[in-house]
Structure 1
Amino acid sequence: MCIALRHQFEEFIQLTDEEFEYVCSFFHATKFNKHSLIIQIGDVVDREYFVVKGLLKTFVTDENGKEHILQFAMENWWVSDYQALNTKERAGFNIECLEEVEILYFSLADKNKLCDEMPKIERFFRLKTTSGFLNLQKRVMVLIKNDALSRYKQLYEQYPTLFQRVPKSMIAAYLGVTRETLSRLSI
């Protein structure tokens, strides 16, 4: 499992074998079954997850029972409730496994320890956080500026394999439209 993690780090930084072995010692591997919740609204969040295999969704359900998907997390993605993790607030959304999932996780304390000890690791997480923030800004702008068809096409171009892994109702919940709207678009 740590091979995928090494590739993830090497997108931004170079680690010696010894450095990577040390970093990897902070991570723990686990598996979750399909439909398992790894974070549930109200939970105390003390872990950050790296997806080795599988697919998860981050979502909330409104007072009318409508599901709103904030994020899908597939292989080589990081996922957590970052607000809860970093502010010690309770989780504000759920993270559910849509498939059998294999993940690596570590605690915020371990992440901070690694970042304090290894500037390379701090650089990696700074660059990943910046990249994530930029992608979030792009997602918000797409939701604001583009119509449903444009959002659908852009998502398909960016993540074509996602469409074989989740039903259209989840794509609709991610795009902020109803399943019926997607059907009317003749997609």
Structure 2
Amino acid sequence: MADYFKLLGLPPRAALDEAALQQAYLEATKTAHPDQAGGDAALSAELNAALEALRSPVTRLKHLVDTRSGLGWRAIPLEAGLMSLFEKLGPLLQQTNAFLTRKQAATSALAKALLASEEMRLREALEGLNELIEQEWQRLEVLLPECDERLATGDDAAWKDVQAMQAKFAYLTKWRAQIRERLLGLML
């Protein structure tokens, strides 16, 4: 597996500044781009993959753990805060799915109008839950520099915490997508 941090000349860190990442990518692609004289299509593709992997905390932390920690895959249980979000999400997704089935079956204007208040309630509930997910995402992002500090001191337990944080980001990413999908379904 390629080391994307090394490829872009960036320090291997859990927290990366988006502007620094973009600048490193642009510098690296100046000579590698296939349209440039002496450009290398394979290297250019790898640089693109590096940018995509390091841009998101989910894939950045996974790459960091995979290339630096020596830890293998392990199941990460949900902590209480995330479990609370999940316990709200599951039933809300089921309710939305059932509603979307009824909405699709409604053919008359009257039948559709009778569903409007439930649709609004579901939309508000989904948007509210999405806000809670965003707050949790932001809370985790604030912790990334602390992870870097712990890793820099050689704290071996920090790697397991980084791995757990990556799993949390992955859960939140999936839940965001599920909410976005249902909200789009409600718009149609």
TM-score (norm 1): 0.26
Q: Which has the higher strand share?
A: 1
* Higher RCO structure (Cα 8 Å, ≥6 apart): 2
